Amino acid sequence: MNVLVRVLTVIAIGLLTSVAANAAGDGTEQKAVLVTGASSGIGLKITELLAANGFHVYAGARKAEDLEKLDTMENVSSVRLDVTKQGEIDAAVEFVEQQGRGLWGVVNNAGVAVFSPLSTGPVEDLRFTLDVNVVGPYLVNQAFLPLVVESRGRTTTIGSINGFVSSSLAGAYVMSKFAVEGYTDSLAMELQDSGVQVSVVEPGSYKSGIRDKVAAYAQASADKGNIELTGETRKILDDFATSNESMKEPDEVAEAVLHFMTSDTPKRRYMVTPNEVQANATIRSAMERVVELNEDQPYSYDRDELVAMLDELLEAE
C-alpha cells in the first residue's frame, strides 16, 4: 500500500471510530505513549516525566542492559526498537497492540549526529544520519498511526534548532533536522481531518550523550581514512564532547513534550533553548531566510507590508 493510500485509510479509520477515540481520550483511562531512543539523555528524561505524570510509556531501546533498566521503572515497559529495522518496528507494533492499552502518542526521539564534511565525507555518513533521523520517524509513524488515529492522539518528533541554524561542522545532521521540519508540516496537513495532532520539538544545546558519540564516530572514521581530522578539528571535537558536562539537563525539553501530550491547545512547534543567545540565533536565522526570499524578486514586499504580515500571523496565534 503506498503512503497516500495508507494515510487516507488511517484517517478513515479514525473518523469511523470517533466514539471509541473519545472514550480513550477523556482521561478516564491511562494513556500510553511510545518513546524511541529512550535509554538515555533527552529520551530518558521524556520517559521519566511522562511516566511520572500518569502515562504508560513504551520505551524503545536497542541494548539488553538498557531494556532491563527501563523495565524497572514504574509505568514503563521496554520495547526492543531500532528505528532503522522494519522487523523490529513491526514487532513493537504487535507488542503494543497485545498490551491492550491502545496508543495515545508517539515521541520520535531516536537520533544520531556525525562529523563528516559535506564536501569530502563519505556518502555513508549522510545515509546513516538520514536513515535514523528522517526515515526512522517516517517508518515509526507509518507503523503506529492506525493506533494513534484510533485514539485521536498525537505524534511528535524531536528536531533541533539546527533545523533553522546551519553549521559547517555537522552538515548531515543539519540536513536531517531541516527535513524533519518539512516532514512535520506535511504530515500535519495529511492528518488534519483525522483528529491527530502533529508537532516538532526543537531543542538547543542540552546535556546529551550524543556529543561523545560524535567525537568517537569522527575518530573511528578518521582511523579508517574516510575523513581527515586536523589538529584544530580534533580540538573542536574534544571541546564539543567535554562541553556536555557544563550543559543544562534537558528537563525543559521533556516538559515541552508533556505539554504537547496533555494540552487542549498543543503547538505545532516547541523551540526549547537553554539560553536567550540560542533562541535569538534561531529566530534571527528564520527571519534572515524570509529576507533572502523577499530580496530582488518580482513580487517583493516592502518593510511595512512585511510587518503587516507579521502582525497578522501574531494575531492568528
**How far apart, in whole angstroms, are the C-alpha atoms of residue 177 and residue 198?**
16
* CA distances from residue 160 to 34, 46, 177, 272 in whole angstroms, order as listed: 20, 16, 6, 9
CA atoms within 13 A on the CB side of 107: 35
User: Which is it for the CA torsion 166, 168, 169, 171, positive or negative?
Assistant: positive
Tell me which residue has cell 558536562.
245
Q: Using alpha carbons only, how large is the chain's radius of gyration in Å?
A: 20
The C-alpha cell at 157 is 518528533
**How far apart, in whole angstroms, are the C-alpha atoms of residue 83 and residue 92?**
10
> From the candidates 173, 183, 206, 217, which is the catalytic residue?
173
The C-alpha cell at 198 is 502533529
For residue 173, indicate whether it is catalytic: yes
**How far apart, in whole angstroms, are the C-alpha atoms of residue 317 and residue 307?**
16
| Nearest by Cα to 243 from 269, 210, 267 | 210
Report the catalytic residues: 173
